[in-house]
Structure 1
């Protein structure tokens, strides 16, 4: 089911009779379909300017997983010996040969050297050219595509690179890639429906089913109303942090989603008294103001949920950083956030690919007019993100490039958490893949989410307390309002740390589905990794309490637990836990999770995968037992 890109050799005449013969051209990327909601409108104006950006092949990048495993596996002699940012650049920056070959080809093709720019970390080369020049360079045609919302996009169907250049380039933009940034619909600010403002790609925010009357904070009510008290009891999180000046916890939100301070204080007065008078450490990323244009439920539920529970569980003594990313006109993508926390990932330097990702300053009304955030933010030790996209919405090259960046962050000791999605085996927005692997309302093939399928992040699924059970009884997979996202990647290979767990599942509990609707090879990354409760959260939104559901709930809970484990390690003079996956899948940690054995995750016209003993593609390894995890991680170097 993994889509591979063909490499068909083509002969090509001289690009210029004055230049020497170049090597034959090969297909570099080819798109098989126009993404849902887009249509071809017209050929692009050949005289228009277009900033071509060539993502250069990074040196030694094939070994990034091994390096990460070396500092993250509890049996490794280098466990916890995390790298510095300088180590990252020194190891993975593209070679001088790569830079020279790509630059020389551009100049030999008639592009003046003054129009060719290289970033300081050599991750990108930009060539400012016309559409006509770009088409000649890559033997392609550029078109304008229009989304049903009215937004336009520049792209081509296929492009070619010279055979001698191809090994040195990951991908080129703009080309076959389509937009996946978080944004609102055009056509006026009131035109943005709730579904379009909640997640990168096609996702939606946490679900709600009713308004909560009164204060529900007793343990006897946790089967219907989840509060911080319920979560502390479920996972044994009774801990007061002592190294707060050394520790950090970050929660990422994307404008126009925004938290409301008065709602946080309403929640504090009823459920978390130590947050009274507290607010998050607000860190602006390509943004300059709190979102105040839209003051209604869809714009606040995600951020309010994340902050109210993330802050409560680490107590009012621990500062929580809110990374507010993007302005109102542009929105933001995952890459915009990565730009801010790693200067080597900024435009021309390793990650941003306009027009796919928003570029700042934004001169439109209400836009952020400051310089683009580039290495301006020190990343927290634990970063939780309750947003996701679908693998199929992204090209393989684009997803791999971003996934590699998460590996680099793990090397630096940072724990990256992503929610696994709320639609079971279907992708965000409940879409499955059709026979052409296109997300479609009539699709029937399982549709994995991203970045949760990246092997270098920790994917978080959702559980729930059964309506007929108590908080002391075992949880089940979440099957109320939402279904825990899970399954098997179509892009990424099975990581070493997960092989035993996935092999055990497929051997003992093989899914009874034809291989035509899911990746049954047993060689692909499986998700989620772990879970936490994702149902019946009591959240203050716009002056009243609502009951919310979703893996959006689960991710900040896990982030808070890991942050408290970091606190204990830092107090002992040790480092942060960093990338946790090799550790949590190790035999030594096998008893540190509450195994979930009931439920499934429906989607695509099926009942999805079944929950089983041990790891499963619904709840992962299970939920966290804080007491056991704290003892185990405290004993590691």
Structure 2
């Protein structure tokens, strides 16, 4: 690092410390987040003030202009933090009881300051649940790479060339890690009939030690078997943003690199209402920037159907983010119509989907969504969802009954859109392989093309509904699939030869 670079970095660090001190000193007069509260949310108890020397992790989300104004700040003493405990798992956090404020001159250049006030939602205090592991059903032997390849009409020749010209990636959060030994064993067991790579090309971030997680194992193993013989990266982001996934930290890693994999799959998400509006909007801006760079971003639609929560005693559906972002391609889930046969697919009842309460419906999906709303015979009550919001998912793939190797143990019947997302991403990487070899650019942001071509190249899933709440007493169905696009399986699941033909040309 040159002396000038070191000086610049030290100056920025000093400016951020000055900003931090000003915020807590109470000498400023502007707060960009009107929803900040000085009172504790229900279920939290103060354990007393934190030691002034205790290390804290805060998120300063600066708007990316006029950063030189930070140099006007001075380092001031006087920060106050307290320990709190709450939630069903007695989670401990450190937060400030004082409102934060910014100078009038600085306020237009700061989106938000995270880690000061907001408490993790009680529904997200736990470690993210592993993908669902179900019991044996009938004679079904479970979904493996060969089952995926047969259902979606891939041949042994449908693999990557193994060069560095094409690459793909998955992102891991919430202390989920994979093991190289698990990947190698998985490929020995299930990768014998197609060319593949036996190891991850690059890990970006901190790869923790200890036990492997089923989530991370699932993502890596099926991204690398669906997108077979394609260079694969894993982004591993430590820590949490206010108790939840550090999506912004991951996106900053992408923003700061010039050469990136073309396809990124993410099997994580949070309820929209559990995140601050400023944080959602900033993450969404970064997703838009990534899409503008030509990256294909796929997110799992979630495993709670339409979701359900109570507002003033009335139930409403609960959309998830980043699945609800208009700048990502969201993947729902299906299962085989017959549990032991490779046959037609129906809705997997856990498949997440619905309508955003934050983002309006983008123009690229206006026609498809309007048609669904006007023709579906099984719409839930209109008060349950925001019909004008961004609708998701966009596509789907099998999400039920997967085999995974984790901690050297083959585990059957793992289910969730955490499985369908890397599968769909891997197939898009194979299509990128053809595009790159023929001199075309990678696919990039996929949604406008998907909707313009009305789901060409996909198997339309027309049977089944996903779960949610229909009244105050019992859980019931949310939305149901039908011909064309629907908010359960999107346009459907991949028919690889047809999808390749559809997406190969510019």
TM-score using structure 1 length: 0.65
Q: Does 1:485 align with 2:371?
A: no
C-alpha distance in 1 between matches for 2:281 and 2:309: 20
Quote the residue 2:8 is aligned against. none
C-alpha distance in 1 between matches for 2:331 and 2:47: 42
Quote the residue 1:594 is aligned against. 459
What is the deviation of 1:570? 0.4
C-alpha distance in 2 between matches for 1:555 and 1:42: 41
C-alpha distance in 1 between matches for 2:103 and 2:360: 28
Quote the residue 2:323 is aligned against. 452
Q: 2:132 aligns with which of 186, 207, 214?
A: 207
C-alpha distance in 1 between matches for 2:188 and 2:136: 18
Provide closer, same or farther for how the CA distance between residues 635 and 176 of structure 1 changes in structure 2, counting only shifts above 3 A.
same
SS at match of 1:557: helix
Residues 32 and 112 of structure 2 are in contact (CA less than 8 Å); yes or no, is this contact kept in structure 1? Answer: no
Quote the residue 1:280 is aligned against. 200
C-alpha distance in 2 between matches for 1:27 and 1:243: 48
Q: 1:336 aligns with which of 249, 264, 268?
A: 249
What is the deviation of 1:36? 7.8
Provide closer, same or farther for how the CA distance between residues 475 and 33 of structure 1 changes in structure 2, counting only shifts above 3 A.
farther
Quote the residue 1:394 is aligned against. 275
C-alpha distance in 2 between matches for 1:466 and 1:169: 51
C-alpha distance in 1 between matches for 2:401 and 2:245: 29
Residues 423 and 602 of structure 1 are in contact (CA less than 8 Å); yes or no, is this contact kept in structure 2? Answer: yes
Q: 2:405 aligns with which of 537, 540, 552?
A: 540
What is the deviation of 1:470? 3.7
What is the deviation of 1:337? 1.8
Q: Does 1:173 align with 2:44?
A: no
Counterparts of 1:266-277 in structure 2, within 5 Å, are 266-273=185-192
Quote the residue 2:151 is aligned against. 234
Quote the residue 1:130 is aligned against. 78
C-alpha distance in 1 between matches for 2:57 and 2:204: 27
What is the deviation of 1:548? 0.7
What is the deviation of 1:129? 5.4
Query: What are structure 1's unaligned runs of at least 5 residues?
Result: 1-14, 16-20, 58-92, 108-112, 116-127, 133-141, 186-195, 213-219, 344-374, 427-431, 437-441
C-alpha distance in 1 between matches for 2:38 and 2:423: 38
Residues 461 and 528 of structure 1 are in contact (CA less than 8 Å); yes or no, is this contact kept in structure 2? Answer: yes
C-alpha distance in 2 between matches for 1:34 and 1:579: 42
Q: Does 1:583 align with 2:454?
A: no
Provide closer, same or farther for how the CA distance between residues 378 and 332 of structure 1 changes in structure 2, counting only shifts above 3 A.
farther
Q: Does 1:462 align with 2:381?
A: no
Q: Does 1:619 align with 2:495?
A: no
SS at match of 2:435: helix
What is the deviation of 1:540? 2.3
Provide closer, same or farther for how the CA distance between residues 489 and 246 of structure 1 changes in structure 2, counting only shifts above 3 A.
same
SS at match of 1:29: coil
What is the deviation of 1:236? 2.1
C-alpha distance in 2 between matches for 1:621 and 1:404: 25
Q: Does 1:291 align with 2:291?
A: no
What is the deviation of 1:551? 0.3
Q: Does 1:631 align with 2:479?
A: no
Residues 204 and 235 of structure 2 are in contact (CA less than 8 Å); yes or no, is this contact kept in structure 1? Answer: yes
Counterparts of 1:72-221 in structure 2, within 5 Å, are 93-94=64-65, 96=66, 100=69, 113-115=73-75, 130-131=78-79, 144-148=83-87, 149-155=90-96, 167-179=108-120, 196-197=126-127, 199=128, 204-210=129-135
TM-score using structure 2 length: 0.81
Quote the residue 1:3 is aligned against. none
SS at match of 2:468: coil
Quote the residue 2:11 is aligned against. none
C-alpha distance in 2 between matches for 1:172 and 1:336: 14
What is the deviation of 1:518? 2.1
Provide closer, same or farther for how the CA distance between residues 36 and 235 of structure 1 changes in structure 2, counting only shifts above 3 A.
farther
C-alpha distance in 2 between matches for 1:268 and 1:313: 12
SS at match of 1:302: helix
Quote the residue 2:7 is aligned against. none
SS at match of 1:618: coil
What is the deviation of 1:414? 0.8
C-alpha distance in 2 between matches for 1:342 and 1:434: 38
What whole-Å deviation, never above 9, does each CA across 1:386-443 have from its counterpart, x for those lacking one? 11111111011101100110111111111111111111011xxxxx33216xxxxx98
Quote the residue 2:310 is aligned against. 434
Q: Does 1:307 align with 2:220?
A: yes
C-alpha distance in 2 between matches for 1:335 and 1:524: 23
What is the deviation of 1:257? 2.0
SS at match of 2:134: strand
C-alpha distance in 2 between matches for 1:255 and 1:56: 24
Residues 56 and 170 of structure 1 are in contact (CA less than 8 Å); yes or no, is this contact kept in structure 2? Answer: yes
Q: Does 1:404 align with 2:404?
A: no
SS at match of 1:177: coil
C-alpha distance in 2 between matches for 1:548 and 1:462: 13
Q: 1:244 aligns with which of 163, 168, 174?
A: 163
C-alpha distance in 1 between matches for 2:378 and 2:340: 28
Provide closer, same or farther for how the CA distance between residues 150 and 207 of structure 1 changes in structure 2, counting only shifts above 3 A.
closer
Q: 1:380 aligns with which of 244, 249, 261?
A: 261
SS at match of 2:502: helix
Quote the residue 2:299 is aligned against. 418
Query: What are structure 2's unaligned runs of at least 5 residues?
Result: 1-21, 470-474
Residues 224 and 467 of structure 1 are in contact (CA less than 8 Å); yes or no, is this contact kept in structure 2? Answer: no
SS at match of 1:609: strand
Count of matched residue positions in the alignment of Structure 1 and Structure 2: 467
C-alpha distance in 1 between matches for 2:490 and 2:77: 48
